[in-house]
Every structure is written in C-alpha cells, then in structure tokens.
Amino acid sequence: MPIVRRRVALSVIVIAALAFGAFAPIVNAAYVTTVEISDSIDLQPAENGHTYMYVDNQPRIYTNEKLVHSEDISYTDYSYSSTGWDTDTSSYIGPASRTQWFSPGSMVYRGWLHDGTQLPAFYDFANSTNDYDLGIEQTKNLFGVPIGEQCSLIYEPGTIYCGVFNVTDQEFFHLTISSRQDESGFEILVIDELGRIMGYTELAGGDVTVLPFAPDLPGMYTILVYGEVGHGGVCVLEFLLESITPEILTFGTIVEGVLPGSEFVVLGEGGDIVYNEKAPTVHTYKLAANSTSPGLASYSMNAPELATDIYEPFEPYLIYTSNSVYVTDGLTMKIGDMFGYPGDSYYYKNFGNESYYVSFIGMEDVSYTLINTLPDISPLPIGEPFYMENMGAIGERRAYTLSLGSDSILKLNTTDTSDYSWFCYSVGDDGFLHYTGISAATTFHEAPHYYLPAGDYIFMATSDSTDSSCHSQFTLGPIIEGAGGVAVDTGSVVGVRVPTSALTLYQGNVTLVTHDNVSVYQDIDYLNMYGEREALTNPLIGNQQNGIGWIAYGTNFSTTNLGTPTNYDMFPEGFAIVVLSPYKVLNNTAGLGMANEYFDYTVDYSVTFTDWAPNLFNVTLSAAVTNSAVWANQTLGFPDAGTEYYRFDLTCPVGTWLNVSWWSEDLDTLNNIWLYQNVDGYPSRLDYTDIAETQTGSDQEGSFQFGCMGHAIIIFEIDRLQVAEGSLDVRFTPFLTNYFDLDIPLIYVSPSGVTGGGGVAPAIDILPVALGVGAVAVVIVVVLFVLKKKGKF
C-alpha cells in the first residue's frame, strides 16, 4: 500500500522589515526570532476514488496543520471512542488550503488503575467526480526562550507556537506571561522532552499570569502557546522565565508572608483611579517529605477589604505540585492541585523520589500562613469499627496509611454515607498517581469492592458538614491465584485471580460445594485488572442432603456470561478477579428463607472461568488480510437452529480501511453485527448502530466498512429461513490507506533563531527594539522546509 515518506532539505528565508513612521511609540523589548519548519504529504486515492487516512494513537499538540484540496471535497471522520466511534461529516469548497487539525480518537479508561489507551481515527475523503488532489501541510513554529531575561513574541492568531529552552540543574521555575492587547485568550502549556505536561495556565485579555512548575529531567522543554484574538491588529506576548530556589520548610515550620503589589492604581494629585494589569506575586516553598509517614501542609489567607466596588481584586490561590508525579488525561501531565481562598489542607507522601512544592499566587497585600507538620497518622483500621467526628469546619481532612504486602480486595461500611467522603491514592514505581474515591454503604452486602495492588496508600476522609460523625469499618481480603476451590467466611471477601485475553468471551461459574443444609446469599463481582467492574451478580444458592448424597436446594451455582454480543464486559489483556463475598447463610431445613441464620460460617466454593465461545458460535472462521481481498465461506446446515451466530477472526495491518461484503442463501434476517478489536490489550467495540453508518445493501447481500486497529473478531447474528441448506460468503477487501506520519522533529532554537539538532539557521542576534521617530523594527522569520516524496510499504 502506498505511503508517503520524506527526505529533508533546509532553506532559509529571512523576511520582513516593518517601517514605523514618526508617530511610533517608544517601547523596549527583546523580540525573539521564530523558526518555522514545514512538512507535507500527498494523499493517494484508493481504487474506488475515495481517499482514506489513518491517524494513529499519538496525540499531536505541537503542530499547525492544513488540508490542501484542488476541488470541492467532503469527508467523514471516524474517531474511535470507548463505546464505538464518533463520526463527523463535513464538506469544503475548493480549491483551498484550510486550517484543520487531524486528531486521533478518544482516550479510554478501564478502571482507576488504568493509565489509559489512546484510540486512533480514520478519515474518508471523496467528491462527486473522484478527480481531485489532496494533501496535508504541517508546520511547527519555534522560538527560543532565554532564562532570566524577558522576551517578546509577535503572535499570529490561531497558530501554535513552541518556545524552547534547556533545563540543566534548575529545580523550579516561575514563568510570567503577559498579553499586550485586550480581546484575546491564550492557553499555555509547559512540556518536557518526553511529551509530559509540567504545567498549564490560561491568559485572558490583557492580563498577566505566572505559572510555577518543577521540571523533572534535564533536557529541552517547550512552552506551547495557542490563542485567539478579537481584533486585526498586532498581537504581542511577553515571557519571563526565571529559575528560583524554593525555601525549604522542614516539619514543624510555620511561615507567614505577604503577597505585595496591586492592579489598583491612583494617579497623581487628581486621584484618578486606573486598573493596571501586572504580574501577581508568587512565593514558592519546598515541603520536607519522607517515605514513612505523610506530611500535612495547611494554609490560610487573609485579603484586605477594599472600600470601592469599581475594581475586582485579584483572587489569590495556591498550587501544590511535584517534580515527578504524573496523571493521565489524554496526555501525561504533572500533578498540580489548585486550592483556593481562604484556606485548606493537603496531605503528601514521598512514595519514591519525588518532592512537593507549594506556590502562593496573588497580590493586594494578601497575607498568608503556611504550616508544615508531621502529624501522628494511624494505620487504616481493618476489620473493626472506628468512630470519626468533626465539629465546626466543613472539609476537614483526616488521613490514614495502608501498606499492603500483597494484592487485596477492600470494601467500606459506614453508619452514615453522607457525613464523610473517602478517597485513596498511591504513586507507582513509574511515577504515576493512581487515585479513586471509596464509596461506602450502610450494609456489608451493598458496599462495592475495590482492587488494591500491593503497595503503600494514603486514605483520606473529608467531612461534608460542620457536624459530621459516623462509625466506619473497612474489610480487607486476599486474592488467591487460579480458579478452583476457595473457602470464604461470611462477612469477609476473597478474590480469585484468573488470566484473560482481550478478545475472549468468558463464562464465570461459581458453585456451592459446602456439604450442609444451607442457603447462601453472596455478591459475586467480576473486576478487570484495572479495578473496573465488568459484571456483578447477587445469587441465592443452596445445598441439601438427599440420602447419603447432596443435591441443589433451588440452585447451587451461578453462571455469568461475560463479553456477550449484547454488552461491553469483555476483559482487557491480563487478568480478571472473581470476588466472592457471602453475607448471609441460612439453615434451610426449615424451608427456604427461614430466619435460622448461621454466623461466622465458612462457605466452600468451586470457581471456573472458561472460554464459552464454543457454546455460542455455530462456526468460527479465520481470515488474514494483507494487500488483497480474502474470502471466508460457510455452509449453513439444514435443519438449523433458527437464530445462529457466526464469528470471523480477522488479522489485518493496523491502519487499513476495510470493506466487508457478504452474500447469503437461506438467510431471513440479519439481526446484528458486532466488531471487537484488540488495541494494545484494550478490547474496543463497534455496535451495529455504528456499523450501520457505513452499511449498504440488504440483509441477504450487503457490505459495511471500518478501520482496522488490531486483531479483530466480527460476529454475525442471523435468523434463518429454515427451508433449505444455506450459505454465508464474506469477503474482506482492504483499501489503500494513507498513514498520517507527519512528525516534524522538535529542535532547539536559541532566542536569536539558531537551530540545533535538525539543521542550522544563520546566527541572528536577539533583537532589542527601541522604536522612536524614524525607527525600523526588523522581525525575522526563519523558514525550514521539509521536502516530500512518495514511497511504498
């Protein structure tokens, strides 16, 4: 299949001399040189006249992109999501070169321990004549940011700019950004070499903001800027990147400070009042931390009252951050919890090699107090009730520690679910923060189960009112390896770990093997390896003696079919946990449901977890698609079962757009088609409602299309006419698909425009500008072109 590859050639264009006349104002700034790197790709049409493109699962946030088309064009964007795909159809009048970002699909999560799986997207372009040229242009706009010196950028609205700087041994930075014009809005991110976001802020109007952030590793960092401007004039942004050394606060330290400055200015003797935007003051402290016990940082702020209502003062706030703790939300980003006025508390713990920082941001002579303490924090009580109360303060937090030597299952009961909110978190060896709320219930039976891998945790309870009080009890149970026999006491919990494959349909079966006249109420919970519930059942099962043997009392087993075509509970690659939690055992000799309850009773189970596809599908066929069409043919027997299921296991190069066509005999109704695909161990699924968007033809003879993301299974559910032997012939046809592989390297650029790592531009000094009568401001733009060529796989 054709694909576009590239070779690199560099040319340099120095442009622009903007002459200012006699009325030019006097300004003093250092204007940076921008370097523009360009790349492009020609998209090749498929045999049917459509042009298909695959956008992989790597998010692109550094580049500006344009769609170039010679004629009118229409397209559909198929962006895969957690429950299928989201489609967007548009049409454009050509010829044109128009701005358009080509993003991948959604980031999907399968539990609180999952870092996320980024799904791709496919594009289908066409026009009425199938006679058109189509391509994509990509540019990356770079400029160098000096450390410790203010610089200015002439900003082209709607363009992404990347300001680059090198980090060596600096511990912490304050980045001040100001806009020299109203009616504008900007988003600013700081990103390290690995694509991780160190910090994020927004800038509105002519405001000034300061972004405090801690770098992680040495290397080249990027300040990504994107914005929109509500006027046609020049747009200038100013940057000041300062390396600072935070003051260290050891345990037991109390610090008091004031955030000076004001945007409220009284001019001259006349007392005219003006609002003058200026940078807020930022004070940053480093919190002492250890790996054995959490620290507690508590703060409060007090703002002076203003005797006027014509000015809204800057509202102070506080940011907690770390140098090496991350979360994911589509992109990997540094934790940066923001807390507001007038006060709050924050527990922190050094799980590995991380440090924690707190930055006060404000002005107007706001005073603050910060206390760093090492409180006496108790281990989380397990298996016994404990009492908590809070009087006089909403949002009071109390913390507990939990250290697990092995993987476990946890649940929480409380006498009042509305008085406290529970939350737990841990930092893994990879530096990622995993956290989840812990829901409670007033009965053991109703409390949800949580999978906790071995490790260290902090649990926090936050009061929801000024007079919160309740008794709570945590239950913790082990996880055993492999299906088979397992014994569980009433009022306790045990997990059974079983291996899973991403595209396998499993059947969980739990059988009561206790030889006693008992009926057992229990919760059977099926969790995936990331802690997400896939299915929950609450069966009543029992046994009774029959002579010298034992038989079911009602029923003595519970079967759950997982990953059926009608639901989404197919497991990711890895393992599942079958959670068993019996909560009531009755003596059934006096009749079912009689109140002869056994307490502290041990229930014996047998657990199986098997592939049940052979019991569901009439036939399973396989097809391996490469560069040409592949057939899968099946005779439909007679007599038949009425409703039948046929499964097709499909392998295909990732990033290929496919047509699936079928021809049939003795087929009455095509009830459903389901499609599962394995994307990096994540079972993505398309329902028939999604598939129908590309379907043509009839139930007996038709086709649909989709984009291949990995190993797939396609399931047909059909009703037979039941008059003769039939057939189902399916053809899988790949279309030529363009791969969006534009990936301009991020290279270092000095403030003067000198590049490194991807070509060298002429050395041009940074431009100090002092404009007056007859002065000339020279704006330098260095453009680097990356030439394209065509190639093949």
| Whether 281 and 396 share a structural domain | no
Instruction: Say yes or no to pLDDT of 603 above 90.
Output: yes
Select the more confidently predicted residue: 623 or 773.
623
| Whether 469 and 493 share a structural domain | no
Burial 348-362 (b: 16+ CB within 10 A, else e): bbbbeebbbbbbbbb
pLDDT tens figures, 161-181: 999 999 999 999 999 999 888
Q: What is the count of structural domains for the chain?
A: 6
- Is residue 334 within 8 A of residue 196, CB to CB? The reply is yes
We report the CATH number of the domain holding residue 240 as 2.60.120.380
In this prediction, residue 96 carries a pLDDT of 94
| Whether 351 and 410 share a structural domain | no
Instruction: Say yes or no to pLDDT of 413 above 70.
Output: yes
- Kindly state the average pLDDT of the residues 715-737: 93
Query: Would 152 be classed as within a structural domain?
Result: no
Query: Would 652 be classed as within a structural domain?
Result: yes
In this prediction, residue 575 carries a pLDDT of 98
In the chain, count of helices (H) and strands (E)?
Answer: 2, 68
- Kindly state the average pLDDT of the residues 736-765: 66
Residues of the domain holding 355: 246-377
| Whether 643 and 606 share a structural domain | no
| Whether 240 and 251 share a structural domain | no
In this prediction, residue 116 carries a pLDDT of 87
- Kindly state the average pLDDT of the residues 142-159: 92
Instruction: Say yes or no to pLDDT of 277 above 80.
Output: no
- In 3D space, the residue among 305, 306, 307, 297 whose CA is nearest the CA of residue 360 turns out to be 297
Span of 199-208, 401-410, 510-519 with lowest mean pLDDT: 199-208
In this prediction, residue 7 carries a pLDDT of 29
| Whether 590 and 600 share a structural domain | yes
In this prediction, residue 592 carries a pLDDT of 55
Instruction: Say yes or no to pLDDT of 776 above 60.
Output: no
| Whether 514 and 580 share a structural domain | yes
Instruction: Say yes or no to pLDDT of 651 above 60.
Output: yes
Query: Would 298 be classed as within a structural domain?
Result: yes
Dihedral-angle region of residue 613 (phi above 0 means left; psi in -120 to 50 means alpha; beta otherwise): alpha
Distances in whole angstroms, Cα of residue 372 to Cα of each of 287, 288, 349, 357, 788:
7, 8, 12, 11, 58
- Kindly state the average pLDDT of the residues 485-506: 96
If pLDDT is split at 50, 70 and 90, which confidence band does 314 have? confident
In this prediction, residue 266 carries a pLDDT of 62
- Kindly state the average pLDDT of the residues 612-620: 87
- Is residue 463 within 8 A of residue 390, CB to CB? The reply is yes
In three-state secondary structure terms, 269 is: coil
Instruction: Say yes or no to pLDDT of 220 above 60.
Output: yes
What is the distance between the alpha carbons of residues 625 and 364, in angstroms, rounded to a whole number? Answer: 68
In three-state secondary structure terms, 601 is: coil
Instruction: Say yes or no to pLDDT of 724 above 60.
Output: yes
> What residue type is 453 in one-letter code?
P
What is the distance between the alpha carbons of residues 575 and 509, in angstroms, rounded to a whole number? Answer: 16
Tell me the range of 183-187, 219-223, 569-573 where mean pLDDT is highest.
Answer: 219-223
| Whether 324 and 436 share a structural domain | no
| Whether 86 and 121 share a structural domain | yes
Contacts of 98 (CB under 8 A, 6+ apart): 66, 67, 92
Average pLDDT value for the chain:
84
Contacts of 602 (CB under 8 A, 6+ apart): 487, 488, 489, 490, 514
- Kindly state the average pLDDT of the residues 327-341: 69
Tell me the range of 30-39, 746-755, 780-789 where mean pLDDT is highest.
Answer: 30-39
- Kindly state the average pLDDT of the residues 369-386: 93
Query: Would 398 be classed as within a structural domain?
Result: yes
- Is residue 186 within 8 A of residue 223, CB to CB? The reply is no
| Residue that is last in its domain, among 214, 245, 276 | 245
Tell me the range of 347-356, 435-444, 749-758 where mean pLDDT is highest.
Answer: 435-444
| Residue that is last in its domain, among 615, 634, 669 | 615
If pLDDT is split at 50, 70 and 90, which confidence band does 329 have? low
Quick one: what percent of the chain has pLDDT higher than 90? Answer: 54
Select the more confidently predicted residue: 791 or 427.
427
Q: Which two tokens stand for residue 309?
A: 């209502």
In this prediction, residue 404 carries a pLDDT of 96
- Kindly state the average pLDDT of the residues 578-591: 90
- Kindly state the average pLDDT of the residues 318-338: 75
| Whether 25 and 124 share a structural domain | yes
Task: State the pairing for strand pair 272-275/253-259.
Answer: unpaired
In this prediction, residue 616 carries a pLDDT of 85
Instruction: Say yes or no to pLDDT of 792 above 50.
Output: no
Instruction: Say yes or no to pLDDT of 783 above 80.
Output: no
If pLDDT is split at 50, 70 and 90, which confidence band does 743 have? confident
Instruction: Say yes or no to pLDDT of 717 above 60.
Output: yes
In this prediction, residue 765 carries a pLDDT of 34
Span of 488-502, 674-688, 738-752, 755-769 with lowest mean pLDDT: 755-769
If pLDDT is split at 50, 70 and 90, which confidence band does 754 have? low
Query: Would 150 be classed as within a structural domain?
Result: no
- Kindly state the average pLDDT of the residues 528-544: 95
Query: Would 155 be classed as within a structural domain?
Result: no
Helix, strand, coil % (nearest 5) of the chain? 0, 55, 40
| Whether 433 and 501 share a structural domain | no
The separation between CA 348 and the C-alpha centre of its own chain, rounded to angstroms, equals 23
- Kindly state the average pLDDT of the residues 561-575: 80
Query: Would 154 be classed as within a structural domain?
Result: no
We report the CATH number of the domain holding residue 725 as 2.60.120
If pLDDT is split at 50, 70 and 90, which confidence band does 753 have? low
- Kindly state the average pLDDT of the residues 76-94: 92
Instruction: Say yes or no to pLDDT of 470 above 90.
Output: no
pTM comes to: 0.86
- Kindly state the average pLDDT of the residues 391-398: 77
Query: Would 153 be classed as within a structural domain?
Result: no
| Residue that is last in its domain, among 212, 245, 278 | 245
| Whether 630 and 720 share a structural domain | yes
Span of 127-131, 485-489, 609-613 with lowest mean pLDDT: 127-131
Span of 63-72, 334-343, 412-421 with lowest mean pLDDT: 334-343
Instruction: Say yes or no to pLDDT of 317 above 60.
Output: yes
Instruction: Say yes or no to pLDDT of 785 above 80.
Output: no
In this prediction, residue 371 carries a pLDDT of 94
